[in-house]
Structure 1
């Protein structure tokens, strides 16, 4: 992160961690500082492989940013929402429905959650290069160098080591996945801040307290910077929804080339219910021209068997899959299965499920 004198920014004060006794998910914790050497990555790879194979979710600690640096990233993220007018947000809105891109603002009430209830969260996504790919609101101009450094830190110091260990776990060359995620390549990998706002009791009843329907993410790896308002749940291997506990200055990783974690956002526990929930993220997607076919050369896949969702020649590129997913979520009618549990839609001929 930049070491020069930094511009002042209002401090964002989140709610304290919940004191409620929730059903917490039991997640693996990885010390990523050990992944700085080939020997360390080889040592951690089986642990990362097993975590991503079973739950698709893990914690990362010792990632190279201090608590004060992380706090500042949340301070800057809140500027995108609290110091930018609604008109300015609309002027910098993402082309979600038009082009399947989340770069820019997702405004509140864009998506339908359930029973006609619209969402109450807003997002601001910045292309990872920060400069040259999009225009930013005036309120964020002073902070763009720090946002660029944040994107680079996520990409090179967190994403790349994780991709290397995932490749080792599949007995592939260490750079097999790294080569598909170029920082300067054409693609939609981005940093994003999301702010959830409390909803009315009527909306909570209509949606059974679900703020964001259960789903898997579109890309390769999602990096979530831990924050104290509990609302994120993952579906455990036994089929039960469990809460993800806040861990100070930790990262949470989901998705991956192994198991795409089914996760959702629900109403926070009672002692945090009246507070907003601000999150910082880094969404890593393969380069746009990457065709989404299995790594058939992996000895691991050869041993367990390869299950295809479609023929290789019909497989979408990352750009096609990303556009189809983004343009569908919350904007199109879905077909319910078993009345309540699953909702299905077709993206590029592939059945996509939402868990509501």
Structure 2
């Protein structure tokens, strides 16, 4: 009988140089999680508590500003940087699915990421690697966010080494895919002032979606809201374990493995407590891969019995189609497989 389960995996043997048996156990556990659920709880990651507490304080300082002050940091949608006000996105559109209400996702967010200046001597350009906007209204924000960004990136890079071992490819296989990776940290705040929503309505914190890239490393409050789609079509509540980071793989990993690894659909439903929405914060680090990297199915995952499910596409093309859906309201009609799973879960 099917039972939805997100495993907890201690990766300390890969953060340091642990015994080979311990490293092999991590590889096996990660491979199993990627094949069966697409999500895992990661402990032993080595991110200092102080870095996380400083990030929390930075989020509180910025999101606590008046809305008009935050709107000064809105950037064009295609740049994927800066501030996103509430109800200006619908993640369902990134899959070509109509949301319950157009552009109804009520979270607000702030995005930072790698700039083209971070990758001298590569093909990185401002078109795909926009420079960041930093809010001068909260001076401590930049330092705290950059410190966490570096730690989350280290965790993601550690996981790609585990992935190489799990997929039985050379240790440096992901270097050509990620040596000038589009890395983005999206900091989210799920809360609205009293009276700004109808509690009886169909509320969407963040609509159904898959993540775009290779791997996502998520810090989040231990507050209900995140739901993950199980293999049986059920939506299941998932909350970060104490001291854990939630990790899930994205579309790039699914494409590489011909869907043997699952880019799992997930969403955020707002927890309503005593007639108000309980606040929830999160910071999702997306390790997406190089903009010009061509992602196709790895040769040993495409056979006569299991032909390739995906045509090769560059990371930049894939992300552009997804962002045009979520942030510009244009359906991404290429996400046929994901859209079918959403429709089945709704029906």
1:94 corresponds, among 71, 75, 94, to 75
1:37 corresponds, among 7, 10, 17, to 17
- What SS is found at the alignment partner of 2:75? coil
- What SS is found at the alignment partner of 1:44? helix
Structure 1 residues 224 and 305, CA gap change in structure 2 (3 angstroms):
same
**Alignment pair present for 1:170 and 2:167:** yes
Instruction: Give distance in 2, aligned partners of 1:117 and 1:283.
Output: 22
Equivalent residue number for residue 346 of structure 1: 333
Instruction: Give distance in 1, aligned partners of 2:336 and 2:231.
Output: 23
Structure 1 residues 178 and 159, CA gap change in structure 2 (3 angstroms):
farther
Equivalent residue number for residue 107 of structure 1: 85
**Alignment pair present for 1:76 and 2:58:** yes
Equivalent residue number for residue 146 of structure 1: 144
Equivalent residue number for residue 19 of structure 1: none
Instruction: Give distance in 2, aligned partners of 1:324 and 1:316.
Output: 11
Structure 1 residues 64 and 54, CA gap change in structure 2 (3 angstroms):
same
Equivalent residue number for residue 284 of structure 1: 287
Structure 1 residues 146 and 171, CA gap change in structure 2 (3 angstroms):
same
- What SS is found at the alignment partner of 2:144? helix
Q: CA deviation at 1:307?
A: 2.7
Structure 1 residues 330 and 136, CA gap change in structure 2 (3 angstroms):
closer
Question: 1:202-241 residue pairs with structure 2 within 5 A?
Answer: 203-207=198-202, 209-241=203-235
- What SS is found at the alignment partner of 1:286? strand
Instruction: Give distance in 2, aligned partners of 1:177 and 1:260.
Output: 18
Normalising by structure 2, we get a TM-score of: 0.78
Q: CA deviation at 1:238?
A: 2.0
Structure 1 residues 203 and 320, CA gap change in structure 2 (3 angstroms):
farther
Structure 1 residues 115 and 204, CA gap change in structure 2 (3 angstroms):
farther
Q: CA deviation at 1:216?
A: 0.7
Instruction: Give distance in 2, aligned partners of 1:115 and 1:350.
Output: 21
Deviation per residue, 1:232-274 (Å, 9 max, x gap): 0001122211100231221001124121011011121536953
Equivalent residue number for residue 337 of structure 1: none
Equivalent residue number for residue 320 of structure 1: 317
Instruction: Give distance in 2, aligned partners of 1:350 and 1:241.
Output: 20
Deviation per residue, 1:159-214 (Å, 9 max, x gap): 112111112111111221244223xx2x531112100114869745442x432222
Report the aligned-residue RMSD.
2.9
Equivalent residue number for residue 56 of structure 1: 38
- What SS is found at the alignment partner of 1:89? helix
2:239 corresponds, among 245, 265, 290, to 245
Deviation per residue, 1:272-295 (Å, 9 max, x gap): 953221112211101100112112
Instruction: Give distance in 1, aligned partners of 2:225 and 2:138.
Output: 27
Instruction: Give distance in 2, aligned partners of 1:181 and 1:206.
Output: 42
**Alignment pair present for 1:46 and 2:28:** yes
Instruction: Give distance in 2, aligned partners of 1:302 and 1:204.
Output: 50
Equivalent residue number for residue 108 of structure 2: 122
Aligned residues: 307
Structure 1 residues 293 and 79, CA gap change in structure 2 (3 angstroms):
same
Range with greater deviation from structure 2 (269-278 or 134-143): 269-278
Equivalent residue number for residue 257 of structure 2: none
Normalising by structure 1, we get a TM-score of: 0.76
